[in-house]
Amino acid sequence: MSVLVVGSVALDSVETPFGKADEVLGGSANYFSAAAVHQTPVQMVGVVGSDYPVEKLEPLRARGVDLTGLERAEGESFRWRGRYRHDLNSAETLETRLGVFSHFKPKLPPQFRSAEYVFLANIDPRLQLDVLSQISKPKLVACDTMNFWIESRRPDLLELIGKVDLITLNDGEARQLTEHANLVQAARWILERGPRVVLIKKGEHGAFMFTKDTIFFAPAYPLESVFDPTGAGDSFAGGFMGWLARTGDLSESNMRRAVIVGSAMGSFVVEGFSITRLLEVTRSDIDARVADFHRLVSFDQALG
Ligand code: AMP
């Protein structure tokens, strides 16, 4: 089963302590797709401007990302400029230029409207809502967001939260959205407003999955060098949703596996700029990393 994603299709300029990249392929939909397509075909919805190097999306298309829902509009593409200092867990946004996204009216191709697995990646919550209203009977709808939208579109975001099954946020965003410093309380606050699953990502400190009755925690893969953290969250979501769509199993134990697949994809993407590493890794690299995760967290409980 394929997974549908709507999100930003961007040109990113990023500075980290280890180097700089200018106007490279970025955006939540690109990162998500490059990660998810290792598990299952992807349907992408978004918009690019007339200046976008669409030929660079060819490797994604060749792997199974359907770009029929990617509109080309007159004007400038979405651009994001960010910087990471020594704390690689938090990006400092230097500039966000919405460009063609500010007038985007998503219109889903008919064959996308029956999508069962839907990821409303980080983009204006009004667009996330618009896409959701065009889908007939999804099995699982998940969304992501960020500080930019929590500040500027709070009412729309709350409306969206009431309509999704699952939300992914990083710890700072969860605190900002809920005004709870404690993450367990923050997750509870969100669970009371709609979603039945809340995934809170903590960068190099791993990720929590909360449901009404359970908490699961996955560490981040202990990498010796992290090159560029951009896209880790979207790649995590891509691995997570891709796994669920591929297996069609929404049980708690399978969602735990999905968290690990997501963590594996997040750990690959940060090894290079843009989506480069996601295009290089193979299914067996992913399997090997998932096995590493298993070893990382397994222990024998001493009794008595
Ligand atoms: P993350 O996975 O959270 O590191 O997401 C990184 C991506 O988010 C970058 O490739 C940016 O292009 C994209 N991005 C940054 N700001 C925004 C925004 N306000 N709306 C949508 N996408 C954004």
- Amino acid 22: pLDDT: 97
| 136 neighbors 114 (Cβ within 8 angstroms) | yes
Element (H, E) at 241: helix 232-247
Residues at CB less than 6 angstroms from ligand 1 = 8, 10, 12, 26-28, 31, 80, 96, 122-123, 146, 148, 230-234
For 202, other C-beta atoms within 10 Å of its C-beta total 17
CA of 226 to the centre of ligand 1 (A): 18
Taking the CA of residue 91 as reference, the ligand 1 atom at the shortest distance is: 4
- Amino acid 304: pLDDT: 78
**SS3 of residue 198 by DSSP:** strand
What CA–CA distance (Å, rounded) separates 304 from 301?
10
Domain that holds residue 258: 3-297
For 105, other C-beta atoms within 10 Å of its C-beta total 9
What CA–CA distance (Å, rounded) separates 82 from 15?
7
Q: Which of 97, 94, 90 is nearest to 49 (CA)?
A: 97
Sign of the torsion angle spanned by Cα atoms 15, 227, 235, 67: positive
Buried (b) or exposed (e) across 150-169, using 16+ Cβ within 10 A? beebeebbeebbeebbbbbb
Taking the CA of residue 12 as reference, the ligand 1 atom at the shortest distance is: 12
For 271, other C-beta atoms within 10 Å of its C-beta total 16
CA of 28 to the centre of ligand 1 (A): 5
Considering the domain boundaries, does residue 302 fall inside one?
no
Considering the domain boundaries, does residue 18 fall inside one?
yes
What pairs with residue 200 in β-bridges?
169, 208
What CA–CA distance (Å, rounded) separates 117 from 240?
11
Considering the domain boundaries, does residue 39 fall inside one?
yes
Q: Which of 164, 130, 159 is nearest to 144 (CA)?
A: 164
Structure tokens that stand for 137 in this block? 């009977």
| 95 neighbors 63 (Cβ within 8 angstroms) | no
Considering the domain boundaries, does residue 56 fall inside one?
yes
Strand 78-83 relative to strand 92-97, pairing: antiparallel
> Can you give the CATH number for the domain in which 281 is found?
3.40.1190.20
Domain count of the chain?
A: 1
CA of 98 to the centre of ligand 1 (A): 11
Would you write out the chain's pLDDT as a tens digit for each of its 304 residues? 899 999 999 999 999 998 899 999 999 999 999 999 999 999 999 999 999 999 999 999 999 999 999 999 999 999 999 999 888 888 899 999 999 999 999 999 999 999 999 999 999 999 999 999 999 999 999 999 999 999 999 999 999 999 999 999 999 999 999 999 999 999 999 999 999 999 999 999 999 999 999 999 999 999 998 999 999 999 999 999 999 999 999 999 999 999 999 999 999 999 999 999 999 999 999 999 999 999 999 999 988 7
- Amino acid 89: pLDDT: 80
For 72, other C-beta atoms within 10 Å of its C-beta total 12
From first CA to last CA, the distance across the chain in angstroms is 47
